[in-house]
């Protein structure tokens, strides 16, 4: 005797079968691999106690959000080399990644030295230079850390070829980046023919960069660890800027520092915002600042993206050189399909 399934049941069985086959087909496609062209970069790294998985994890965090392509990161040769395979052959992108990985990721907020207010620190810096010591840290006679030199960020003027400091250097305590000699900018710019441009003076005197003296406050710790949030934003003029929000401890430290330097009469102090020993901006402190701040300056988009990526990912457990020791083509494998994040 033949058994016949009701039409509704046959439809159900058919629907289940189709669903299973579709799921199998999608699974096969999803787990399928494809080959893509990329670049392998290798860094020579110093032997340390840092585990390979810690290095790989930190580098991956640094790259995430900045680079969306496939990547494979490994430590090889008994911890002596870092090898990174990236799904890109674009030279500009690879240069940006090298810059990103080279950054230590140390953000500092320090008041910039003023004559009449920080004479003891200025004298200590001068004595250190006279002794032939050109280190970034400035220590007093008791070996206490009291100051720090920071290189003023600059670009090149496309019209003249002169250096173009991104921070107004006049009024700051300065030294020549190359020679370490103190620079009296006010008198240097004044010639028999009148006032000359800072960039022209630097070009004419072979000054490749200027460093500004900042004050280390022993009772105020304010750095990248004081941040709870960082993002790209725009200033009032529509220029790119970095928006920062501070932790509770960071807010207290920022308020303490900026209260200390509120204007007195005509005297105003500038707050140096220093990223990996480069002074990226130096606004005047006009009132106490607490929870939030916006870093404005003459920023390129790639520069702001790098700052944000580094601040979000934190510092690397190892120091990487400015450029990898090797770049070469490589073929990577990646899933044919990926779920959107």
Question: Same domain, yes or no, for 74 and 213?
Answer: no
Q: Are residues 143 and 189 in contact, defined by beta-carbon separation less than 8 angstroms? A: no
Mean residue pLDDT across the chain: 87
Residue 6 has pLDDT above 70, yes or no: no
Percent of the chain exceeding pLDDT 90 equals: 59
Give the integer Cα–Cα distance in Å for 231 and 294. Answer: 10
Residue 319 has pLDDT above 70, yes or no: yes
Residue 341 has pLDDT above 50, yes or no: no
Give the integer Cα–Cα distance in Å for 109 and 221. Answer: 9
Question: Same domain, yes or no, for 259 and 331?
Answer: no
Question: Same domain, yes or no, for 191 and 256?
Answer: yes
Each residue's pLDDT tens digit, 94-147 = 999 999 999 888 889 999 999 999 999 999 999 999 999 999 999 999 999 999
Question: Same domain, yes or no, for 173 and 236?
Answer: yes
Question: Same domain, yes or no, for 183 and 74?
Answer: no
pLDDT category of residue 333 using cuts at 50, 70 and 90:
confident
In a domain, 13, yes or no: no
Question: Same domain, yes or no, for 250 and 170?
Answer: yes
pLDDT category of residue 236 using cuts at 50, 70 and 90:
confident
Question: Same domain, yes or no, for 82 and 225?
Answer: no
Question: Same domain, yes or no, for 162 and 70?
Answer: no
What is the CATH number for 90?
A: 3.30.70.1570
User: Between the CA of residue 24 and those of 15, 30, 301, 333, what are the distances in Å?
Assistant: 14, 10, 44, 22
In a domain, 72, yes or no: yes
Q: Are residues 139 and 124 in contact, defined by beta-carbon separation less than 8 angstroms? A: yes
Residue 340 has pLDDT above 50, yes or no: no
Of the candidates 62, 13, 23, 26, the one whose C-alpha atom is nearest the C-alpha of residue 308 is 62
Which pLDDT value is given to residue 4?
56
Q: pTM above 0.95?
A: no
Question: Same domain, yes or no, for 115 and 46?
Answer: no
Which pLDDT value is given to residue 85?
95
Residues spanned by the domain of 295: 107-313
Residue 161 has pLDDT above 60, yes or no: yes
Each residue's pLDDT tens digit, 67-92 = 888 899 999 998 899 999 999 999 99
Q: How many domains does the chain fold into?
A: 2
In a domain, 64, yes or no: yes
Residue 29 has pLDDT above 50, yes or no: no
Least confident segment among 18-27, 149-158, 187-196, 331-340: 18-27
């Amino acid at each position: 005797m033949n058994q016949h399934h009701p039409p509704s049941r046959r439809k159900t069985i058919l629907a289940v079968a189709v669903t299973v086959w579709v799921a199998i087909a999608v699974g096969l496609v999803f787990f399928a691999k494809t080959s893509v062209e990329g670049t392998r970069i290798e860094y020579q790294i110093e032997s340390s106690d840092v585990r390979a998985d810690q290095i790989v994890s930190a580098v991956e965090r640094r790259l995430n959000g900045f680079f969306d392509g496939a990547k494979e990161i490994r430590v090889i040769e008994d911890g002596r080399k870092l090898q990174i395979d990236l799904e890109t052959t674009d030279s500009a992108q690879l240069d940006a990644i090298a810059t990103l990985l080279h950054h230590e990721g140390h953000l500092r907020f320090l008041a910039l030295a003023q004559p009449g207010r920080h004479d003891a620190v200025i004298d200590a810096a001068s004595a250190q230079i006279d002794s032939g010591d050109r280190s970034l840290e400035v220590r007093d006679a008791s070996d206490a850390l009291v100051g720090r030199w920071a290189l003023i960020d600059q670009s090149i003027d496309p019209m003249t070829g002169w250096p173009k400091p991104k921070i107004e250097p006049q009024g700051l305590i300065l030294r020549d980046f190359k020679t370490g000699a103190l620079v009296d900018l006010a008198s240097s710019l004044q010639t028999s023919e009148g006032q000359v441009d800072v960039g022209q003076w630097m070009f004419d005197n072979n000054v490749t960069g200027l460093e500004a003296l900042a004050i280390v406050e022993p009772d105020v710790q304010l750095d990248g660890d004081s941040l709870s949030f960082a993002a790209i934003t725009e200033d009032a003029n529509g220029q790119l800027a970095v928006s920062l929000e501070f932790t509770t401890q960071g807010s207290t430290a920022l308020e303490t520092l900026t209260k200390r330097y509120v204007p007195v009469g005509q005297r105003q102090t500038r707050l140096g915002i220093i990223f990996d020993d480069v002074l990226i901006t130096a606004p005047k402190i006009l009132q106490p600042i607490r929870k939030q701040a916006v870093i404005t300056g003459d920023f390129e988009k790639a520069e702001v993206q790098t700052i944000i990526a580094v601040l979000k990912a934190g510092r690397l457990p190892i120091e990487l050189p400015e450029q990898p020791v090797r770049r070469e083509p490589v073929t990577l494998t990646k899933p044919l399909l990926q779920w959107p994040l």
